[in-house]
Structure 1
Amino acid sequence: MATRHFLTLLDLSQDELHYLIQRAITIKNELKAQGPRYTPLPNRTMAMIFEKSSTRTRVSFETAMAHFGGHALFLSPRDTQLGRGEPIGDTARVLSEMVDIVMIRTFSHQGLEAYAAASSVPVINALTDDYHPCQLLADVMTWTELRGSVKGKTAVWIGDGNNMCHSWINAARQFDFQLRICCPAGYEPRQDILEAAGDRVTILRDPNDAVVDADLVTTDVWASMGQEEEQAKREADFAGFQVTEALLDRARADALFLHCLPAHRGEEISETLLDDPRAVVWQEAGNRLHAQKALIEFLLLGRVDG
């Protein structure tokens, strides 16, 4: 099989993405029933390059490789020549000679694309400043587990037009649902990403209007990594955009709430929202493991029956 990369949700077809969601659910159910007995990747190695810190990303990928019988190498900027100025392409070619797959969590999406262009092994985007596609696999998996097919349903993104928002836009395209983006003026997602989604995505300004009859509501912190100096301004600009239990009451009775975590209680969400039964963020976080297992398996082995 030719080398495939997963840099955005658009790198896989709609059919392949639907397969991944169902495969992830199967892998999860089998793990719960039998324990980690399925080991399709003995002696395979994943290099995990982290230029941005993470809890969920590192634990989920490292555990996935351990369950699969393989091994994961954690590489911080201090551990690689990338931190000392080695060209991205050179590092990619070297690691391609030694490992089977690479996961990168970094700042520049263009840098990630340059790495993938030089890599002869699959490369997974574990977050860039522009996209976070692995999180969306877990999010759509959670939504599907709890509510069935997401086709034709309505999700609402409340907050900054950031990398998570960009991946939600791509998800609306690939999984065929409607997305309402509710953000203050000046915090819209990138125009080219928005335009490519056509009529699947709409921009609104009032959260109370945006959530009416929605099937799912989601948000993220107002200031992402690298934007800490903007915290005070963003708090002022996003006043009125906090997701609360009362706001969720305006959505459908069976609506779900997602958050990629970590959450800032009292800022983008109310202090108690994560305790509400409509908030399924712990299941969502746990599904990072299973969705990424399905992704790793697909990139290295192709489709698997069962």
Structure 2
Amino acid sequence: MKLISLTDLSAADIRSIWTLAGKPAARLSGNVAWSFEGNGIRTRSTFLQAFRALNLEYIELPNLLKTSERACDIAGYLDPLYDFYVIRESNHARLAEFAIASRRPVINAMSSDGHPCEVLTDAYYIDSVLMPIERARICLWGPTTNVFRSWHELAAVLKLQLVHVCDSRFHRDLPHVVFTDKPDSTADVVITDGWSKEIDAADWSLTEQHLAAMGNPKLLPTPPFIIGRELSFDPCGYDGFTGYEQKKLLVPVQIAVLLHMANCRQDTRS
């Protein structure tokens, strides 16, 4: 099994991962090829803790896919040495090519097109702490990013209905996403993400007035957030801020992803 985008999972897979996230971690044997582009201080910290909790050894392979070597050759040489790959790689197409070539589980720790483990974690928080996610009124705020693409994919897999507030140039025809350029309905949770410098922050910064118009929902900003860009105010002063502690759930969800993939691999071999 691969996790390059959330469409690689079924609804049953996602529920299995969330069930595992709520249980004490089992122990695995084996090792991980770990390649991590950029800073990603939260994702890096939590995956390393997940490896330790599962008793998995890891070897860091910087810039694993930033080579002219064919992806199938990299996989062919490395697959006998590793049980899992966890890769953060900006070139999504290159990551997907490697995942297809490899015979091992490959986990996308973030790419230009998606951030599946981050979104699985935030959705798990909504489902386990706030309310069943099928009932939650979820609003994505701002231009489409890799995080929001993963939310779009999750909505398709779980048959959720999202509202995505953004400029009309980012609107798409997606069956489970209602695109709009203004907050015209109430919400249970609003999710933001950072966006590129080309976007005019003044036009799309989320304000406390926007939140009030939506019924003062929970606010879940995807870090790192920048006050003055995606947020016009300090969320620490907002009663509905989900808080820094919420991101601790990255560890059990990442553990659960690895366990689920190990279970699927064993099922395939049996």
Distance 1:161 1:123 in 2: 25
Shift of 1:266: 2.1
Letter in 2 for 1:125: N
- Indicate which of 38, 41, 45 corresponds to 1:55: 41
Shift of 1:152: 3.5
Give the aligned partner of residue 242 of structure 1. 205
Cα deviations across residues 15-72 of structure 1 (Å, max 9, x unaligned)?
2212212321x13xx4xxxxxxx45113x21111123331112111111010111122
TM-score normalized by the length of structure 1: 0.80
Matched pairs, number: 266
Give the aligned partner of residue 2 of structure 2. 5
Gap regions ≥5 residues in structure 2? 266-270
TM-score normalized by the length of structure 2: 0.90
Q: Quick check: 1:264 aligned with 2:226?
A: yes
Give the aligned partner of residue 135 of structure 1. 118
Give the aligned partner of residue 131 of structure 2. 148
Tell me, yes or no, if the aligned pair for 1:182 and 1:203 is still in contact at 8 Å: yes
Give the aligned partner of residue 33 of structure 1. none
Tell me, yes or no, if the aligned pair for 2:208 and 2:233 is still in contact at 8 Å: no
Cα deviations across residues 80-122 of structure 1 (Å, max 9, x unaligned)?
5x44432222112222111110011112221111101111110
1:207-218 matches, cutoff 5 A = 208-209=183-184, 212-218=185-191
Tell me, yes or no, if the aligned pair for 1:39 and 1:69 is still in contact at 8 Å: no
Shift of 1:302: 4.0
Distance 2:127 2:248 in 1: 14
Between 105-114 and 291-300, report the one with greater CA deviation.
Answer: 105-114
Give the aligned partner of residue 40 of structure 1. 27
Q: Quick check: 1:297 aligned with 2:268?
A: no
Partner-residue secondary structure (3-state), 2:81:
coil
Partner-residue secondary structure (3-state), 1:258:
strand
Q: Quick check: 1:202 aligned with 2:151?
A: no
Gap regions ≥5 residues in structure 1? 31-37, 224-230
Shift of 1:73: 2.2
Percent identity at matched positions?
Answer: 25
Shift of 1:288: 1.2
Partner-residue secondary structure (3-state), 2:4:
coil
1:171-190 matches, cutoff 5 A = 171-186=154-169, 188=170
Tell me, yes or no, if the aligned pair for 1:40 and 1:68 is still in contact at 8 Å: yes
Q: In angstroms, what is the RMSD of aligned CA positions?
A: 2.1
Distance 2:56 2:158 in 1: 31
